[in-house]
Amino acid sequence: MIHLSTSLYRRLQCELQARTQRLGVPEKVIQCRFQTADRYWRVLQKRVCNYRFASPQTEIVFFKTCKPLFTAEILYHNYAYCALLFQPVQTREALSFWTREKERLQVFIRRNQGFYDYLTEGEGHLDHLYFLREHLTGTSFASAKVYDNDPRALTNKDPFVATLLALEKYQAFADACLSQLGGPV
């Protein structure tokens, strides 16, 4: 499964790059890239739902590092698309808007500081609770995103990793938007 996800992710990145070069309007590019990322995740999700990993460690690696790459692409494109739709027209308000948007990553980290520290410090002693499907709680499933509608492809913390990756990418997007407006980056 890890080999398949790595191969699919490479193909996804190539297709996303091709879509960026073909379309000109930013909203259309993002919309198309969102659909592409969602399509690739659906292919992988269908495979993982009934997949039996060779070991708990292999399952942990998949849900901690592989799956979040796909779902982070979906989240990132959703954040970017919504921001472009709702950004103010006036430059002053747009500068303020993108400055606030740029802070989303730091707000997320502060709200989830304990788990963020666990991830960034390379901890692993709780990975079995966080990244094995057998430990999925009802609370985690109830708050799952629409693309995570099947508990057989969800763990307690893989959505957090995806959100972190998406917000890191989104922060760079907000920086670029600020820069285009002549604001501080």
Count CB neighbours of 2 within 10 A.
Answer: 14
Backbone angles phi, psi at 173, to 5 degrees: -65, -45
Structure-derived torsion over alpha carbons of residues 76, 78, 82, 85, reported in degrees to the nearest 10: 100
Give the tens place of pLDDT for each residue, 64-114.
999 999 999 999 999 999 999 999 999 999 999 999 999 999 999 999 999
Q: How far apart are CA 20 and CA 113, in angstroms?
A: 34
Mean pLDDT of 148-153: 92
Give the tens place of pLDDT for each residue, 109-150.
999 999 999 999 998 999 999 999 999 988 777 677 888 889
Kindly report the pTM of this predicted structure. Answer: 0.92
Domain residue ranges in the chain: 2-180
Backbone angle region of 158, left / alpha / beta, with phi > 0 → left and psi within -120 to 50 → alpha: alpha
Structure-derived torsion over alpha carbons of residues 166, 185, 115, 77, reported in degrees to the nearest 10: -10
- Three-class SS of residue 113? helix
Count CB neighbours of 29 within 10 A.
Answer: 20
Q: How far apart are CA 158 and CA 67, in angstroms?
A: 7
Q: Are 146 and 162 in contact (CB under 8 A)?
A: no
Quick one: which of 167, 13, 160, 177 has its CA closest to 76?
Answer: 167
The single residue listed with the structure tokens 């494109």 is 77
Q: Are 33 and 79 in contact (CB under 8 A)?
A: no
